[in-house]
Amino acid sequence: MMLGFLLARAGVEVLVLEKHADFLRDFRGDTIHPSTLELMYELGLLDEFLKRPHQELQELRGQVGRETFTMADFSHLPTHCKFIALMPQWDFLNFLVEQGRRYPGFHIEMQAEATDLIEENGHVVGVRIATQHGIREVRANLTIGADGRHSVIRARAGLPVVNLGAPMDVLWTRLSRRADDPGQTFGYVDRGKLLVLLNREDYWQCAFVIPKGAADEIRQRGLPAFREEIAKLVPFLRDRVDELRDWKDISLLTVAVDRLTQWSRPGLLCIGDAAHAMSPIGGVGINLAIQDAVAAANILGPALLQGTPSEHDLRAVQKRRMFPTRATQRLQLIIQNNVIRRVLGSTKPLTLPWFFKLFQRFPYLRRIPARLVGIGFRPEHIHLPAQDLH
Ligand SMILES: Cc1cc2nc3c(=O)[nH]c(=O)nc-3n(C[C@H](O)[C@H](O)[C@H](O)COP(=O)(O)OP(=O)(O)OC[C@H]3O[C@@H](n4cnc5c(N)ncnc54)[C@H](O)[C@@H]3O)c2cc1C
Residue 290's pLDDT band, with cuts at 50, 70 and 90, is very high
- Half-sphere exposure (CA, 13 Å, Cβ side) for 312? 1
Whole-prediction pTM value? 0.94
Cα of 161 from ligand 1 centre, angstroms: 18
**Is the beta carbon of 296 within 6 A of some atom in ligand 1?**
no
Work out the angle at residue 362's Cα, subtended by the Cα atoms of residues 359 and 365, and round it to the nearest 5 degrees: 60
Assess contact for 126 and 137: CB atoms under 8 A: yes
The CA distances from residue 99 to 92, 102, 302, in Å, are 11, 6, 20
What's the rounded Cα separation, in Å, for the pair 21 and 168? Answer: 31
Q: Which ligand 1 atom is the nearest neighbour of the CA of 112?
A: 43
1 CA closest ligand 1 atom index: 25
Do 104 and 15 contact (CB within 8 A), yes or no?
no
In ligand 1, the atom with minimum distance to the C-alpha of 285 is 19
Q: pLDDT class for 26, splitting at 50, 70, 90?
A: low
Query: Residue 34: which H helix or E strand, with range?
Result: helix 34-42
- Segment 66-89 shows an average pLDDT of 92
Q: Is 97 in the pocket of ligand 1 (CB under 6 A)?
A: no
What average pLDDT score do residues 33-44 get? Answer: 98
For residues 43, 48, 54, 60, the Cα torsion angle rounded to the nearest 10 degrees is 40
What does the DSSP assignment read for 296-336? HHHHHHHHHHHS---HHHHHHHHHHHHHHHHHHHHHHHHHI
Q: For atom 49 of ligand 1, which residue has the closest CA? A: 18
- Are the beta carbons of 284 and 376 closer than 8 angstroms? yes
Q: In this predicted structure, which of 168-182, 281-295, 328-342, 347-361 has the lowest mean pLDDT?
A: 347-361
Q: What angle do CA 348, 229, 366 make, to 5 degrees?
A: 65
If you take atom 30 of ligand 1, which residue's CA is the nearest one?
Answer: 148
Averaged pLDDT score across all residues of the chain:
93
Which residue, judged by its Cα, is nearest atom 8 of ligand 1?
A: 29
Check pocket membership of 318 for ligand 1, CB cut-off 6 A.
Answer: no
Is residue 285 within 6 Å of ligand 1 at its C-beta? yes
Residue-wise over 29-57: b if at least 16 C-beta within 10 A, else e? Answer: bbbbbbbbbbbbbebebbeebbeeebbeb
Residue closest via CA to ligand 1's atom 35 equals 147
- Going from the C-alpha of 80 to that of each of 49, 53, 111, 129, the distances in angstroms are 13, 18, 37, 41
Which residues, 6+ apart, have CB-to-CB distance to 271 below 8 Å? 3, 144, 145, 146, 263, 289, 292, 293, 296, 317, 321
Instruction: Note the pLDDT tens digit of each residue in 252-269.
Output: 999 999 999 999 999 999
Q: For ligand 1, atom 5, name the residue with the nearest CA.
A: 29
Best residue for ligand 1 mutational test, from 19, 91, 321, 372 (most atoms within 8 Å of Cβ): 19
- Residue 143 CB burial class (10 angstroms; 0-12, 13-18, ≥19): buried
The finding on whether 169 has its CB within 6 A of some atom of ligand 1 is no
Judge whether residue 119 has pLDDT over 80: yes
Give the span between the Cα atoms of 28 and 90, in whole angstroms: 9
Can you tell me the distance from the alpha carbon of 215 to that of 221, in angstroms, rounded to the nearest whole number?
10
Q: What are the φ/ψ torsions at residue 150 (nearest 5 degrees)? A: -105, 40
Residue 114 in contact with ligand 1 by CB distance below 6 A: yes
116 lines ligand 1 (CB under 6 A): no
Q: How confident is the model at residue 33 (pLDDT cuts 50, 70, 90)?
A: very high
Nearest ligand 1 atom to alpha carbon 278: 19
Q: How far is CA 287 from CA 17, 101, 267, in A?
A: 21, 23, 25
DSSP string spanning 47-66?
HHHHTSS-EEE-EEEEEETT
What percent of the chain has pLDDT above 90?
79
pLDDT at residue 27 in the model: 59
Q: For the purposes of burial, counting CB atoms within 10 Å of the CB of 191, is it exposed (0-12), middle (13-18) or buried (19 or more)? A: middle
What's phi and psi for 344, nearest 5 deg?
Answer: -65, -25
193 falls in which pLDDT band (50, 70, 90)? confident
Q: Measured from the CB, is residue 177 less than 6 Å from ligand 1?
A: no
Q: Could you give the residue ranges of the DSSP H alpha helices within 336-366? A: 341-345, 354-361
Instruction: Give ∠ CA 1-313-144 in degrees, rounded to 5.
Output: 30
From ligand 1's centre to the CA of 148, what distance in Å? 5
Query: Ligand 1 centroid vs 289 CA: distance in angstroms?
Result: 9
